[in-house]
Amino acid sequence: MPIEEAQRIHHHRIQQVRDALASVPLLHPALTLEVGCGHGHFLTAYAAVHPSEHCIALDIIADRLERAERKTTKAGLTNVNWLRASAAEFLEAIPPEVRFRGRIFILFPDPWPKRKHWKNRLIQPEFLDQLAAHTAPGIEMCFRTDYAPYFEAASHIIANHLLWDIDAATPWPFEAKTVFEARASGFQSLIAKRAAP
């Protein structure tokens, strides 16, 4: 694909995300984010128990988001927005003044097990930089995976990042089994906190 065409498609996608964000209370004082929400089981349960937070859920598969939205509609929840976007698109589209002051959840992201695909893994220094730019110090990023090599790699990247500190003492904040967790034979979790500048 020519570079110009790729750029045009990219700009179009970013504008679509910005249009979708027009109805989202991005300046809410307790904004929470889930990257890769799947069918919405986790965030629906979380939002129900945390009504003072406003939750934004990202996924790239429309069918998953439709199922997720049906869950919150049935539950009568108004504190969740389901958004079709990748993490990179979302972080590029949101205004610079937006700050997440709730929590960040990254649950069972694609581990991209083949070495040639590791560059596609979500937990990368660039992603942590972008996320840090939109989080207040002390905010928790909760990461969970059932693929041990990815957990080790992500732990190493986070531990060596200047803007995030792994906090082994903080307990996992909320449990609600996702589709991916139900399929897993086991998993590993970590919590990282946004470091002070």
Element (H, E) at 125: helix 125-132
Q: What are phi and psi of 49, to 5 degrees?
A: -90, -15
110 is catalytic: yes
Element (H, E) at 62: helix 62-75
Tokens 């970013």 -> residue:
14
The DSSP call for residue 105 is E
Question: What token pair was written down for 29?
Answer: 């004082």
For 168, other C-beta atoms within 10 Å of its C-beta total: 6
Tokens 């500048």 -> residue:
197
Phi-psi region of 117 (alpha: psi -120 to 50; beta: other; left: phi over 0): alpha
The DSSP call for residue 76 is T
Question: What token pair was written down for 105?
Answer: 């959840």
For 183, other C-beta atoms within 10 Å of its C-beta total: 9
Active-site choice (19, 59, 110, 146): 110
Q: Which sequence positions are flagged as catalytic?
A: 110
